[in-house]
A and B are shown apart, each in its own frame.
Chain A
């Protein structure tokens, strides 16, 4: 299980999740328009979920249907 960042993060990149993540597993680059959580490094602590100001972060099994494509987007980001 991991946490997934979804569409509301796009263009926002508030980074509150990055600040609270205890294992620094949330990544982006200047070229990316959102943040991504490394599924291999995420420890499922859920610290990122409530601090997101735009409610973009969900537990993998709780990602809303309209954002399900972001599960694959998130995994693919780290498979590059």
Chain B
């Protein structure tokens, strides 16, 4: 029989488990933070007074991959658990099935305070609030992607646009030449919830910003040695719904510029941006 009893064991009020899976969470960034940064912020946030009440640990894949950082907060004093991810709301994920994610807040120290017994109701309230800041970020990323579009061969406008759903995939070569934001009535509005990309053929692609939850910059070298550049957007069900592949510009001088522009965007936002 063990000499250690339950009474002598430390019993934290809150366990925070940060997914640092090297094949998943450790590689992804969400609003400038990856798993290591989240872990560091949590550790920094736990003061001496809270060290015995809050335990922060790492884990491999804690099923519920959101293609972004993930952590679980288990409130031992109430028996509840909150899943935080780079998406928010309901999603169907691997073995966990249908689960509800709370968004990862900017202030991780507040997460700790929220889950300690004195203020346990805060996470639910936070989860229910709208997140206009996320749409602002998406608008900023789209504007950055579209910078220079009107100058043929300079921006990221020479592309193959792919729209995908469970039943069909449509790929259309296009030259995207304009980005604007409109409101629900189609009126121009810099703060509108719909992004409209127009093409040289008078085509229009409308994106409901509130439904876009993930944007990925994908840069690969193909089997033939040629580089590939793509921007993928995913919805709240983690489905990739919209992809833009850059076409090689007929203006040869423009390709190195576009290469640098694409890598600069990856440096600025990370390979994955979640909203």
Q: Does B associate with A? A: yes
The answer to whether B11 and A14 have CB atoms under 8 Å apart is yes
What is the bound-complex CA distance between A11 and B4, given in angstroms? 8
- Cβ–Cβ contact A9 & B2, under 8 A: yes
Confirm or deny: B128 has a beta carbon within 8 angstroms of a beta carbon on chain A.
no
Contacts of A19 in B (CB 8 A): 15, 74, 76, 79, 81
Selected contact of B58 from candidates A8, A10, A50, CB within 8 Å: A50
Task: State whether the Cβ of B61 lies closer than 8 Å to any Cβ in chain A.
Answer: yes
Question: Within the complex, what minimum Cβ distance (angstroms) separates B53 from chain A?
Answer: 13
- The 8 Å CB contact of B76, one of A16, A23, A46, A54, is A16
Assembled-state Cα–Cα distance A9/B9 (Å): 11
Chain A residues bordering chain B, tally (CB within 8 A): 22
Main secondary structure of the interface of B (DSSP, over half): loop
Chain B residues near A9 (CB, 8 Å)? 2
CB of B96 closer than 8 Å to a CB of A: yes
- Is A63 in contact with chain B by the CB < 8 A criterion? no
Q: Which residue of B lies closest to A41 (CB)?
A: B95
Residues of B within 8 A of A54 (CB): 2, 4, 9
Any A CB within 8 A of the CB of B63: yes
Are B15 and A22 in contact, with the CB atoms below 8 A? Answer: no
Near B by CB (< 8 A), chain A positions 1-42 give 7-14, 16, 19-20, 22-23
Extra pairs beyond A7-B2, A16-B15, A23-B63 (9, CB < 8 Å): A9-B2, A11-B5, A12-B2, A16-B76, A43-B60, A45-B21, A47-B17, A47-B59, A50-B55
Identify which of B6, B19, B21, B57 contacts A12 (C-beta below 8 A).
B6
B62 interfacial contact with A, CB 8 Å: yes
Contact (Cβ within 8 A) B76 A13: no
* Interface residues in B56-79 (C-beta closer than 8 Å to A): 57-64, 72, 74, 76, 79
The residue in chain B whose Cβ has the minimal distance to the Cβ of A19 is: B74
Q: Does chain B have a CB within 8 A of A51? A: yes
Bound Cα distance from A44 to B64, whole angstroms: 14
Q: Is the CB of B61 within 8 A of A43?
A: yes
Bound complex: CA A22 to CA B65 (Å): 12
* Closest partner residue, chain A, to B83 (CB atom): A22
Q: Smallest distance from the beta carbon of A24 to chain B beta carbons, Å?
A: 10
B10 within 8 A of A: yes
Please name all residues of chain A whose beta carbon is closer than 8 Å to the beta carbon of B21 when the two chains form the complex: 45
Which residues in A have their C-beta under 8 angstroms from that of B252? none
Q: A8-B4, A20-B72 are in contact. Are A53 and B61 (CB under 8 A)?
A: no
Among A10, A11, A16, A44, find the residue whose CB has the most chain B CB atoms closer than 10 A: A16
Q: Specify which chain A residues have a CB less than 8 angstroms from the CB of B4 in the assembled complex.
A: 8, 12, 53-54
B222 on the interface (CB 8 Å rule)?
A: no
Select which of A14, A23, A44, A45 is within 8 A of B9 by beta carbon.
A14
Q: How far is the CA of A43 from the CA of B72 in the complex (A)?
A: 16
Q: Is B1's CB within 8 Å of the partner chain A?
A: yes
Residues of A within 8 A of B76 (CB): 16, 19
Distance (Å) between the CB of A61 and the closest chain B CB? 15
Query: Would you list 27 pairs from A and B whose C-beta atoms are within 8 A, ordered by A residue?
Result: A8-B4, A10-B1, A11-B1, A14-B9, A14-B11, A16-B15, A19-B15, A19-B74, A19-B76, A20-B15, A20-B17, A20-B74, A22-B63, A22-B96, A23-B63, A23-B95, A44-B60, A45-B19, A45-B21, A45-B59, A45-B63, A46-B59, A50-B58, A51-B15, A51-B17, A54-B4, A54-B9
